[in-house]
Structure 1
């Protein structure tokens, strides 16, 4: 088993190939976006990669990042090498690497599968968080009968009540090279209690801007004379749209801006021919879950974060 602060391109390729085999076998990808992007990141004292090799292949991988006194990890074992102790050895290696001040380890399992639950429970992990994936087809969506002035070019019109924003608020696309600092400020404020989204850095944002799917026109922001109030970042991959991140600054929460931003992002996707839209929300975020259910989204998958106290 090998530990690396950073990975050469050939190992990234081997890990991605192994991840594809896992997805084919399990019906769900083993790693989230943060882990996938982390494969190519520069070395950091807070991040470590663990690989189990067999000849020229990687048969298991774990990515770990420390945050304060906790650590977060994702791991996967090639389907052909499961139930042979590889996963247990990999997890033990991860735990041994963590320093004495790390008191808690959190591990994501995608798809809420019984064998993942059994693996976690047998090793002293407890279910801590659930992340719902919602999905719906936009055909038959109840579109507003009108959009705020200045936006909505080719956006669909329906018979639902008009979409509105407060006086002095306008919607516009994100401006690369100008809006990053304000976006990071609003994102941090909107997700102050979120363990992942709220700690995004300029490097995290820049990494997404470098992705092939990034489209600044699909990142809609709301602002007034005092600055940015909120945003709806949409994403399109393989013909499927996603409510990637939706955030509202605390000073605009409770004004209905979140609902309007949600509708605006969906309309942007529909105007570009997208019919299926996915989104994610924590099961504990009952307000968001209620909003998305009211807009016709159904839960199609649950990811689970398992947590273990180390010390």
Structure 2
């Protein structure tokens, strides 16, 4: 099957069509946002595309990114071509192409579907990471009785405890082009141990700013005398809100800023008519999962990352 460093516009269209067909069949998207954005990215030495053509269509696709001595991948097979060995052949082709370079391959399976689990285990993969999708309706949410000075007048108020900020800290919208470098610094510090978020680059940030859903008013920044201390980046697509990225600089952790930013982002969404809000949290971060569960969010889906050790190195 063909392997590419970059894709033609025609192939990108076919892969997007494949993704839509998988979503319709499985009720879940087969690829994450980063994979979809990378379809049209210029060629990079650490990114590879694997395509399974069939006549004028593409029935299988995998994208691989090498990170250090490991690699991460996502793959999908057209619903009409499943159970014919296409997915297994595609996965093995990915492994073969990487065996000389990496020691571990990780593959996402969105929705933890039984067929994906069966393929992964039969090929020697083990469950390595679980990402929860949580969701709640904002109807009946306990809004605070007061917001910090400068908060928009249309943020909802209720009977909950007033929201306060650490001394000298204020909230404001993100300013594209001016806050980029400082945001990248805070994001890297806040997610230093996160496999994907912590390694975002200026290009990753710019890609999101170019998306139709990007709204700087919904990208709330907490700022003090020493610069940016945290942020709550919200997202709205198809009428559904999302806690897209919420990060706190290590300097401000433990000050209550995280809760204040969480409520501020939800208030922004509610003020714009959003009623359903989603978010993603790692199973390995029980503190965050517990916090969101306490705020009325329920786990509605699990995405599993499967891992396989390659090129075992024997101890000397």
Same fold (TM over 0.5): yes
CA contact (8 A) 2:6 2:41 kept: yes
Cα distance between partner residues in 1 of 2:101 and 2:51 = 24
Secondary structure, counterpart of 2:246 in structure 1:
strand
Task: Specify the alignment match of 2:10 in structure 1.
Answer: 10
Secondary structure, counterpart of 2:171 in structure 1:
strand
Runs of 5+ consecutive residues of structure 1 not aligned to the other structure: none
Secondary structure, counterpart of 1:229 in structure 2:
strand
Secondary structure, counterpart of 1:267 in structure 2:
helix
Matched, 1:24 2:24: yes
Task: Specify the alignment match of 2:227 in structure 1.
Answer: 227
Alignment of 1:67-78 (within 5 A): 67-78=67-78
Cα distance between partner residues in 1 of 2:21 and 2:138 = 31
Please report how far the alpha carbon of residue 257 of structure 1 lies from its aligned counterpart in structure 2 after TM superposition: 0.4
Task: Specify the alignment match of 1:263 in structure 2.
Answer: 263
Matched, 1:154 2:136: no
Secondary structure, counterpart of 2:267 in structure 1:
helix
Cα distance between partner residues in 1 of 2:153 and 2:60 = 48
Cα distance between partner residues in 2 of 1:286 and 1:221 = 25
Alignment of 1:106-145 (within 5 A): 106-145=106-145
Secondary structure, counterpart of 1:35 in structure 2:
helix
Please report how far the alpha carbon of residue 99 of structure 1 lies from its aligned counterpart in structure 2 after TM superposition: 5.2
Secondary structure, counterpart of 2:211 in structure 1:
coil
Task: Specify the alignment match of 1:168 in structure 2.
Answer: 168
- Over the aligned positions, Cα root-mean-square deviation in angstroms equals 0.7
Question: Cα deviations across residues 154-174 of structure 1 (Å, max 9, x unaligned)?
Answer: 000010000110110000000
Alignment of 1:1-311 (within 5 A): 1-98=1-98, 100-311=100-311
Please report how far the alpha carbon of residue 101 of structure 1 lies from its aligned counterpart in structure 2 after TM superposition: 3.3
Cα distance between partner residues in 2 of 1:191 and 1:137 = 27
Cα distance between partner residues in 2 of 1:226 and 1:239 = 36
Cα distance between partner residues in 2 of 1:295 and 1:172 = 24
Please report how far the alpha carbon of residue 33 of structure 1 lies from its aligned counterpart in structure 2 after TM superposition: 0.4
Question: Cα deviations across residues 190-247 of structure 1 (Å, max 9, x unaligned)?
Answer: 0000000000000000000000100011100001010100000000000000000000
Tell me the TM-score normalised to structure 1 length. 0.99
Please report how far the alpha carbon of residue 113 of structure 1 lies from its aligned counterpart in structure 2 after TM superposition: 1.2
Tell me the TM-score normalised to structure 2 length. 0.97
Please report how far the alpha carbon of residue 100 of structure 1 lies from its aligned counterpart in structure 2 after TM superposition: 2.1
Runs of 5+ consecutive residues of structure 2 not aligned to the other structure: 312-316
